[in-house]
Amino acid sequence: MKISLGSDHAGFRLRTALITALQAQGHELIDRGPANEASVDYPDFAQAVAADISSGAAQFGVLVCSTGIGISIAANKVPGIRAALVANEDAAEFSRRHNDANIICFGQKYTTPEMAAKYLEIFLRTPFEGGRHSRRIGKLEHPAC
């Protein structure tokens, strides 16, 4: 599976831990950075990962900032992106099963590398259920207002 990852400086350590875990599982990765913990702007990295997903260069994305909030908001501005901030196993599963999320977001401040790896594993293995959820996803892509 091809996965694109990015973070800001406040998510650097968790992103690098997830890169190690994903490489050990044999996934092909696109690392959008940053290269270190020097201050950067999270929208730049959210947009780079979201572009990888929307263009088909990667199947899924992983984004990390301090809380996960800003980076998920930034990613969701890109058409076709459904970025979900995940903080537990249930959210990891249902972000895929019901929402067909294509980017998982974490807050380094609240999520250990072990927790994030577990949530990411659940996210990647859970299929989209379709059915009534497809209609709802369509409304996200093409709102009536």
- Active site (annotated) includes residue 105: no
The phi and psi torsions of 14 (rounded to 5 degrees) equal: -70, -40
Catalytically annotated residue among 9, 27, 98, 145:
98
Among the options 9, 65, 133, 142, which is catalytic? Answer: 65
27 is catalytic: no
**What stretches of the chain show up as alpha helix (H) in DSSP?**
12-24, 42-55, 69-75, 89-97, 113-125, 132-141
Question: What is the C-alpha separation between 94 and 120, in angstroms, rounded?
Answer: 12
- Residue 103 tokens, joined: 């980017």
Q: Which secondary structure element, helix H or strand E, spans residue 145, and what is its range?
A: none
Active site residues: 65, 98
